[in-house]
A = this chain, B = another copy of it.
Amino acid sequence: MITGNILGYQISALSEKRLYASNPSTVEMLPETFVPATTAETDRAVRLAAAAFRTYRNLAGTLRAAFLTAIADGIEHIGETLVQRMMEETGYPQPRVIVERNRTCSQLRMFAEIAASEQWREIVVDPALPDRTPTPRPDLRSMMVPLGPIVVFGAANFPLAYSTAGGDVASALAVGCPVIVKAHDAHLGTHALVAEVIMNAARQTDMPEGVFSALVGDGYETGRQLVLHPDTAAVGFTGSQQGGRALFDLGHQREKPIPVFAEMGSVNPVFLLPGAVAADVEALAKTLAGSIALSVGQFCTQPGILVALRNSDTVHLLDMLKIELEKMTTAPMLHTEIYRSFHNGIESIRNHDGLNMICDVMPAPGLHTSPVLATVDATNFLNQPQLHLEVFGPFSLCVLCSDPDQMEMVASSLDGQLTATIHAAETEHNRTSDLMEVLSEKAGRIVIKGVPTGVEVCGAMTHGGPYPASTDSRFTAVGARSVRRWVRPVTYQNVPSVLLPELLKML
C-alpha cells in the first residue's frame, strides 16, 4: 500500500508527521502509517495538474474514456483487498461495501461513455449570414471546454463512490480536467488502494503525468492550500455544512474567485399525509425505519425530519417505528468526530421546548450507535429554528401538526434540501399538489412514496438543491449533468476550418 502522496507518477513522503487510520468497530488504530503532504508536495501536485491540463484537455474523448474504464477495471481487479480494507476503516458490512464498489465502477463507466460521446460539449453552430442587413452575421460555433485542475475532497461516508475515484473525480476527468484528491482522514487505506489504481490506469492508458495526484492531508492546511492555489480552477466537496462553507468562502475570497461546489446534506423531510399513514402503518414504519437507520444514518439523504398530523394513526406509527428501530442491531459510526458530533447534536436537541424522546440514545460499545427518534409539536418546531438543522446520523424528528395547513407551514419554514418526500393516499392529490408546490422551491428532488435514501446515478438525477443542501442549486453532484460544474463555453468566431477544434470542423 502506498502510504505517501502520489504526485503524478511519483510517490513522495517528505513530512516527518504520521497519520493512522482506525477501525471504528474496535476503535483501534490500523497498523499502516500515512505521511501527510508538505506545502511543497501540495504545490507540486497542483503544478503537475496545470501542466497535464494542456495535453489532457485536448485528448480525444475516447482516450479519456479508456482511462476511466481502466480505473473501473483496476478497482474490480483488486477485489477483496479493497473490500476488506474499506470494511476495516468504515465498519460498514460487506454488502454495503460491495454495493458502493459496484456503484463506483458503474459510475466510472457512465462517465467514460459521456467522455467518449462528447455530448457534454453542447456544440452550437450559427453559420455565417453574409447577406444579412444591415450587418452580416459571422460564423459562430461554440462548445464546452474544461475549466482546469479540480480539487476534490474525499467524503467520510462514501470512501469509494464520493472520494478518490468517486463521482466528482470521474466527472472532472471525463471532461478533460486533471484532479487532485485530498484523502479523507477516516479511510486513508481505502484511499491509498484506489489512488494507486488510478495512477496505474493513467500510466497504462498513456495519460500525461499530473492528470491525477492524491494527497494525504496535513489537517486543515492542505485543503486550504489546495483551494487557494492559483492553478486550481474549481473544487468539489461532499460533507458537513461547516466544512463546505469554509471552503466555499476560501474559494470566493481569492483574488480570482473559483467555483466551490459543496454538497452539504440536509434533513430531507418526509411528509406523511394522514391517508397514507392510515393505509398501512406497519409497512410505512418498516420503510421509514430502514431509511432512518441505513448505514447508521450516515447518508446525505437520510430523512432527519418526519412531518405528520397529531392523530391516533400517527401515534400508532410512532409506536411501530419505535419497535422497528429498537429491533435494529447497533453498528459503529464512521469515526470519532462524527460519533461525537452526532451525540452532541442529540444533546443540544434534547432540551428544546416540547421535545419528546421516543427512542433515546442507548449505551453501546465504542462508536456503536443506535437510532434516535423524537417528536415535537409543529408550533414548537416553527419557533425553534435550531430544530431545523441536520444532526448527521441515525436521528429523526417527527413534527406533529394540528392540521394539513400546518404541515404546509412546516414545509414553508424549511431550509434548502437535497430531497423532499411525500407519502399520500390517492384521495389526497390536492393536498399533495399544494405541498409539492412549496417543496419544489426548497428541494433538488421530490420523491413520492419511497424514501430519500438511494440516489440513482442517471441523466435525470439531481443531487443538490438550494443552500445549505449545496452551495449552488444550479448544479448536481450526481448523474450525467454533474459534469457541468467543470466546464465553460468558448465561442469561435470566423475561425477557418483548419484552425477549428476537431469537433467543430465538420459542422
Interface residues of A (CB under 8 A from B): 54, 99, 124-126, 134-135, 137-138, 140-142, 145, 147-148, 248-249, 252, 256-257, 259, 415-416, 429, 432-433, 436-437, 440-441, 443-450, 454, 456, 458-462, 464, 466-468, 471-474, 476, 480-481, 484-485, 487-496, 498-499
Contacts and interface: CB of A to CB of B under 8 A. Distances in A.
A468 B256 contact: yes
Contacts of A444: 488-491
A480 B122 CA distance: 13
Contacts of A142: 459-462, 481
A460 B476 CA distance: 24
Given A125-B460, A444-B488, A461-B491, 12 more contacts: A126-B458, A126-B459, A140-B456, A256-B416, A436-B495, A443-B490, A446-B490, A448-B496, A462-B489, A466-B488, A474-B488, A476-B489
Contacts of A125: 460
Contact of A499 (B248, B432, B472): B432
A502 to B, nearest CB: 12
Nearest to A445: B491
A476 B142 CA distance: 12
Contacts of A429: 498-499
Contact of A458 (B140, B460, B494): B140
Contact of A493 (B248, B432, B450, B494): B450
26 contacts: A99-B134, A125-B460, A126-B460, A126-B461, A135-B454, A138-B456, A140-B456, A140-B458, A140-B461, A142-B460, A147-B473, A148-B441, A256-B466, A436-B499, A440-B490, A443-B490, A444-B491, A446-B493, A447-B493, A448-B493, A448-B499, A450-B494, A462-B489, A466-B488, A474-B485, A474-B489
Contact of A145 (B124, B440, B498): B440
Contacts of A496: 448
Given A436-B499, A461-B142, A448 B494 contact: yes
A492 B446 contact: yes
Contacts of A259: 472, 474
